[in-house]
Structure 1
Amino acid sequence: MTIFRLPTAPRSLQKDQPIKFILDSEAIDCLAHNIALVHPVFDVQAFRQLALTDIAALGFMDRSAHIAAALKATLPAKFADATEVLINTLTPPNAHTERLGLGVFFYLPHTRFVAEYGRDHKHNAGEDPFDAAMRAQYELTRRFTAEFSIRPFLMHDFERTLKQLMQWLDDPDPHVRRLCSEGTRSRLPWGARIPQLIKDPTPTLPILDALKSDPSLYVRRSVANHVGDIAKDHPELAFDLCDRWLSHADKELKWVIRHAVRHPARQGNATAIALRKAAGGR
């Protein structure tokens, strides 16, 4: 029986332990161990040396890029082959959407690897790596999240990536459905902004319409935050969307509306205040 190892990690941030230490020597050892189980020719020592060299001074996101570069140097050269190895090391998908703890950040270097090397034909023996990258994103978001790694694909190949996300809207896994909303947020915290969607967020409105009454609060919260991002640049569009939803809103959708406009309401915007009141808020 194959037993993959995961590093120990706290359930929440600790004052005396910065988040960057989640991606430390233990995580690197676990990653090397897991890859060796499914890819016996993997050079564990070379990977460990590359991944550990100069990592101490790096912050959290830089550590993920550093480890991804070590993976690039030691996994099969073809991106599709490399991601197949990584997919084969994944633990079972998360059955829950809340209180997952910080251990899931073990997969941040995996998503960084996809983001860095999955958009260029030269990393896939001249073949288009898009399908392999999307398969990896799908599997990774079920264990962690691909909301950060999907964004370079939106900026690099917007129409095709958006089309893929639209095809995932009916997926049975709420982690996948949430990715469709969270990954396309124009101003995602910690994530690169998507200038095209800041300028014109209308391409994501079908996603929000499809997910606004999702059975999972995890997904609905993402929809609300997405509309809140739109409200920062196009408040009238966000307010019109919420007003349209309000005409047939149940209590769950009313919560989405209240949550979506909470920031402009706090800033005194009269339309946002009226929407919150109409949706059952104060």
Structure 2
Amino acid sequence: MASEYGLKRHFNGEAARLIGGKVRAVHPEFDVEGYAAEVERRIPGKELKDRVLVLTEGLRSRLPGDYPAAVAVLVPILGDELAEGEGMFNTSWFLMPVARFVEEYGQDHPEVSLDAIEAITRCHTGEYAIRPFVEDHYAMTMKRVAEWAHSPSHNVRRLASEGIRPRLPWARTLDIFVKDPLPVLEVLETLRSDPSEYVRKSVANNLNDISKDSPEIALATALRWLEESPTPETNWIVKHALRTLVKKGDQQALALLGATGGQFVHVSGLRVTPAAVAVGDTLLIDFTVENTDGRTHSVTVDYVVHHVRKNGRSIPKVFKLTTLELAAGERRTVQKTHPLKEVQTRRYYAGEHAVDIQVNGLVKATEQFALRI
């Protein structure tokens, strides 16, 4: 998914001209240049969501006041349905204000809005627009979601999962599903072996969301799916759905994915070099793993960087490293480079940072490096 920073730069006067030109082809009196000028005047200093809202509000003030009539102008500009693998933020990013239009103004016309969301998701995504309808028109929306799960369109099937994720990034949390994920799981049952990778990724992310608040339910669901649907598609979904629990070292999740014998694996010779680095440098993490048992074991090896915060405390971040099949008595050297590059979601602070090596969720060795700012 594109970063919020990368996307926001595109929502400007040129985006308004792009959208406005398409709208004018359907609604000839639409003032494209006035729309673009308003957007350019209002967007400075605003982040992604607020920029999109500016474009949305500009549409609202220039389209028919009657909401169904306004939607009837917007739906024809959507374009062709996205094929499998076409990225919505690459091909149809400019439709975000159209989806936001339904989200902001469609509550009094839920049937019209749900029809529009289905049309929008074929060409972009309706995962954000649908969430207020889940909250305010629950029965009607969930009935439609259940129907979408059986759609021949992979985009619509994906919406059936993505739109009801309890903790969808960039979106409001659906507390109703945080407290009770069972209605979500009823929808996911239909999609647990979906042929579309786009849909499977959403199902995995949805079950991963559920695992954060209801790990027992997520694990029980994953186990049942593996037993009832032993397909490569379901196996892929379960593996990716349990990633948060695996990073936390949940032994049941690890066992479900075939990891065994972490207690028999010894880690030695851990080195983190150089010992002192600056932002922009790269660390080399080097160590040896040894299976001390008389049986072969499959182990998941991760590393954890404890990032120092402004207050001096540390917050751990787990990074995936490798999965190894270790024969009885086998030793193997593992190396990993870790770039300390600036990212939008993390700010670095000077101090001693710890690096843990964990095997099947069990911390086996720790080393430190100093970060200089």
State the TM bucket, normalised to the shorter chain.
Answer: 0.7 to 0.9
Partner secondary structure for residue 42 of structure 1: coil
Corresponding residue for residue 112 of structure 2: 132
Residue 250 of structure 1 is aligned with which of 213, 218, 231? 231
Amino acid at match of 2:104: E
Residue 113 (structure 1) aligned with residue 93 (structure 2): no
Are residue 276 (structure 1) and residue 276 (structure 2) matched? no
- Scaled by the length of structure 2, the TM-score of the pair is 0.66
SS at match of 2:80: coil
Is the 1:257–1:275 Cα contact (8 Å) retained in structure 2? no
1:142-192 CA distance string (max 9 Å, x none):
111111111111112122111111111111110110000011000011111
TM-score, normalising length: structure 1 = 0.87
2: CA distance between counterparts of 1:20 and 1:186?
Answer: 25
Structure 1 residue 20, shift from structure 2 partner:
1.1
Alignment-mate amino acid for residue 270 of structure 1: Q
CA distance in structure 2 between the aligned counterparts of 1:44 and 1:33, rounded to whole angstroms: 6
The residue that corresponds to 1:8 in the other structure is none
- Give 1:102 shift: 2.6
Larger radius of gyration: 2
Q: Percent identity?
A: 36
Deviation at 1:13, TM superposition (A): 6.2
Letter in 2 for 1:169: A
The one-letter amino acid paired with 1:244 is: R
Which residue of structure 1 aligns with residue 177 of structure 2?
197
Q: CA deviation at 1:97?
A: 2.9
Q: Within 5 A, what are the aligned runs for 1:25-36? A: 25-36=13-24
The structure 1 residue matched to 2:186, chosen from 190, 206, 209, is 206
* Equivalent AA in structure 1 for residue 216 of structure 2: E
Could you list the per-position Cα deviations for residues 16-42 of structure 1 after superposition, in whole angstroms to 9, with x for gaps in the alignment? x83212111111011111111111122
Tell me the secondary structure at the aligned position of residue 257 of structure 1: helix
- 1: CA distance between counterparts of 2:169 and 2:299? 26
Shift of 1:243: 0.9
2-structure distance, mates of 1:87, 1:100: 16
Matching residue of 2:211: 231
Residue 87 in structure 1 maps to residue 68 in structure 2: no
Distance 1:23 1:38, change over 3 A: same
**Contiguous gaps of at least 5 residues in structure 1:** 1-10, 121-128
Q: 1:241 to 1:60 in 2, by over 3 A?
A: same
Answer yes or no: is the 8 Å Cα contact 2:154–2:199 preserved in 1.
Answer: yes
1:99: how far off?
A: 4.5
CA distance in 1, matches of 2:15, 2:31: 16
Structure 1 segments, 4+ long, off by >4 Å, are 11-14, 98-101
2:127 aligned counterpart, secondary structure: coil
* Alignment partner, residue 149 of structure 1: 129
Per-residue deviation, 1:49: 3.5
- 1:79 CA drift (Å): 0.9
221-230 or 153-162: which moved more?
A: 153-162
* Larger relative contact order (Cα-Cα within 8 Å, sequence gap ≥ 6): 1
Total equivalences in the alignment: 261
Cα shift at 1:133? 0.5
1:130: Cα distance to partner? 1.1
The question of 1:62 aligning with 2:42 is answered no
Higher percent of residues as strand: 2
Matches within 5 A, 1:166-181: 166-181=146-161
What's the secondary structure of 2:123's corresponding residue? coil
Distance 1:171 1:281, change over 3 A: farther
Q: Superposition RMSD on alpha carbons, in Å?
A: 2.0
Matched residue, 1:74 = 62
1: distance between equivalents of 2:49 and 2:10?
Answer: 11
The 1:157–1:244 alpha-carbon spacing in structure 2 relative to 1, beyond 3 Å, is: same
Give how far 1:198 is off. Answer: 0.6
| Residue of structure 2 in register with 1:22 after alignment | 10
1:220 aligned to 2:183? no
Question: Residues 205, 100 of structure 1: CA spacing in aligned structure 2 closer, same or farther, 3 A cutoff?
Answer: closer
Distance in 2 of aligned mates of 1:70 and 1:101: 21
Distance 1:83-1:258 versus aligned 2 partners, 3 A rule: same
Which structure 2 residue ranges, 5 or more long, are not aligned? 260-297, 301-373
- Whichever structure has more helix as a proportion of its residues is 1
What is residue 51 of structure 1 aligned with on the other side? 39
